Structure 1
Amino acid sequence: MKSSKALWAIGVLTPLAALAAWWFGSANSTNPFFPPLQQILIRFQELWLFAHFSSDVMLSLRNLTLGFTLGVAAGLVIGFVLAMVPLIRWMFEPVIHFFRGIPAVALVPILITLIGFGVEMRVANIALAAFFPTLIATMDGIRSVDGGLKDVCQVYRLTTAERITRVYLPSASPQIASGMQVSLQVAFIVMIASEMLGSSQGIGALTLLAQQSFMSADMWAGILLLGLIGFMANMVFELVKRRVLAWYIGLRAQERAA
């Protein structure tokens, strides 16, 4: 208990110490590309808490949430089907591995050509980015279910729905959750890239515009906001994962203690 509290305190104090060092280290800065942190925070408040909150911040968060949800849902469903039906998996697995090797950012020009510069393009790109990590994790998680559990399913003549909900999903859920967390991180990166490459709205677009206009304080304010959103999104996901997989975390703790 004491060690966990100490680690938690270190995790909180380290970012605060970094901010303090940034504050005092940049206080007297006259470099136009590295303005003082105080100036950056002023612009952060003016831009992201007032002027562009509803028009750009909420737009980016909505696109991220919608694209991530669609991508993860598709990855779960298709991953289950491919893992449960070997013939379909053998047919489509080479295609899947081919397309997953293409960086999601590289698909932005193609999607712009097919869909245009609208919100649909950005959501589709985010969904594609979130799709493959969840798909691969779901396939691997279902296929790695213990053979003894599969035999039990046959002995008790469980239906396909009962096998998925009572055996396969609980057994594969830790690996699926890890894949979803990777999907969230990749989707966040693609959200920024799609706004920078094919949009005039959103946090990424305004941050790039500030850089091109030599408004360094605005650029650093955008970078700071993106870092905060990424950190908060990952922290929320980690909290939800720990609550949902509390049984698995407790089991692992008992195994380490033994």
Structure 2
Amino acid sequence: MRLATRIALGAAAPVVVIAGYGIVTSASPDPFFPPIPVILDRFAQLWLFARVGTDAVPSLVNFAAGFALAVAVGVPVGVLFGQIRWLGEMMLPLMDFARSVPPIMLIPPLVLVLGVGDTSKIAIIFLGAFFPIVVSTLDGLRRTDPALVDMARSIQLGPATTVLRLYVPSAAPAIFGGMQTGLQFALVLMVSSEMVAAVRGLGFVTMQAQATFNAPSVWAGILLLALLGFLINVLFTLVRNRVLAWHIGLRATLKSR
């Protein structure tokens, strides 16, 4: 399928929704559902660029720090659990118990312990993204082809070389899948943590607008978050496709046979 066709198909549903919203709100004005021009005007007032430095940038810095920390810790922990069987069997029940708690429920105790500053926000984002990355890494390692493992043993590869040259590349698609899931958790928790206890940030500004019944500002905040989420996902997809180019090429070759 051509790129232009894919873009057109992907844009069809959003265009229909936006057009429908514009028609309904222009025909019957509602204070809670302002017309699109009002939302865009408020968006320009708030986010181009009055509050970018004071609210948008700190939120994105916390998001990036928490997610990067989750990747830096989650992937090695997943590899460790996958390679040391007794450690994995001992820790997995604890992991299952911990990830069964909705991450958003951890916001109050973390804020209580760490305060309303950036540290608590980073910790919340980290915990939300950490568990999907660990579980996906572990699952990817377990799916490694046994024939490749036997071959590595036959040529007497060392443990570290086997992990880096065999297990991690084999598990890379699953790892990136877990990272993408963690990315969505991180974005949601970035906003949620700022809505509960914060003095700045995208979630804080949007929540303040809601508290004062400022509907245009609420919708402007939602629009900004939607755009940021879309752009972050596009950037992640580009990085993933670049890193996994060998895997994508291999799948394409197998399908063409």
- Report TM bin, short chain: over 0.9
Q: Is 1:231 the equivalent of 2:209? A: no
User: What residue number does 1:163 align with?
Assistant: 162
Unaligned runs of 5+ in 2: none
Q: Identity of aligned pairs, percent?
A: 40
In structure 2, C-alpha distance between the alignment counterparts of 1:241 and 1:252, rounded to whole Å: 15
User: What residue number does 1:10 align with?
Assistant: 9
Compared with structure 1, are the counterparts of its residues 127 and 100 closer, same or farther at alpha carbon in structure 2 (3 Å cutoff)?
same
User: What residue number does 2:240 align with?
Assistant: 241
The root-mean-square deviation of aligned C-alpha atoms, in Å, is: 1.4
TM-aligned CA deviation for residue 236 of structure 1: 1.0
In structure 2, C-alpha distance between the alignment counterparts of 1:5 and 1:251, rounded to whole Å: 25
TM-aligned CA deviation for residue 28 of structure 1: 4.7
User: What residue number does 1:33 align with?
Assistant: 32
In structure 1, C-alpha distance between the alignment counterparts of 2:29 and 2:12, rounded to whole Å: 28
In structure 2, C-alpha distance between the alignment counterparts of 1:8 and 1:209, rounded to whole Å: 36
User: What residue number does 2:79 align with?
Assistant: 80
Any residues of structure 2 matched to 1:105-124 within 5 Å, and which? Answer: 105-124=104-123
Unaligned runs of 5+ in 1: none
Q: Is 1:207 the equivalent of 2:206? A: yes
In structure 2, C-alpha distance between the alignment counterparts of 1:26 and 1:38, rounded to whole Å: 10
TM-aligned CA deviation for residue 131 of structure 1: 0.4
Aligned length: 257
Which secondary structure state, in structure 2, belongs to the residue aligned with residue 106 of structure 1?
A: helix
In structure 1, C-alpha distance between the alignment counterparts of 2:223 and 2:199, rounded to whole Å: 19
Q: Which moved more, 1:128-137 or 1:164-173?
A: 164-173
In structure 2, C-alpha distance between the alignment counterparts of 1:78 and 1:166, rounded to whole Å: 17
In structure 2, C-alpha distance between the alignment counterparts of 1:230 and 1:28, rounded to whole Å: 30
Which secondary structure state, in structure 1, belongs to the residue aligned with residue 101 of structure 2?
A: coil
In structure 2, C-alpha distance between the alignment counterparts of 1:82 and 1:64, rounded to whole Å: 26
In structure 2, C-alpha distance between the alignment counterparts of 1:169 and 1:141, rounded to whole Å: 8
TM-aligned CA deviation for residue 25 of structure 1: 3.4
User: What residue number does 1:96 align with?
Assistant: 95
In structure 2, C-alpha distance between the alignment counterparts of 1:66 and 1:29, rounded to whole Å: 44
Task: Give 2:209's aligned amino acid.
Answer: A
Any residues of structure 2 matched to 1:37-52 within 5 Å, and which? Answer: 37-52=36-51
Scaled by the length of structure 2, the TM-score of the pair is 0.95
In structure 2, C-alpha distance between the alignment counterparts of 1:74 and 1:102, rounded to whole Å: 20
In structure 2, C-alpha distance between the alignment counterparts of 1:5 and 1:201, rounded to whole Å: 40
Q: Is 1:173 the equivalent of 2:161? A: no
In structure 1, C-alpha distance between the alignment counterparts of 2:252 and 2:8, rounded to whole Å: 21
The one-character-per-residue Cα deviations of 1:89-118 (angstroms, maximum 9, x if unpaired) are 111111011001111100001101211111
In structure 1, C-alpha distance between the alignment counterparts of 2:30 and 2:12, rounded to whole Å: 28
Task: Give 1:244's aligned amino acid.
Answer: V
In structure 2, C-alpha distance between the alignment counterparts of 1:71 and 1:249, rounded to whole Å: 25
Q: Which moved more, 1:155-164 or 1:227-236?
A: 155-164
In structure 1, C-alpha distance between the alignment counterparts of 2:37 and 2:20, rounded to whole Å: 12
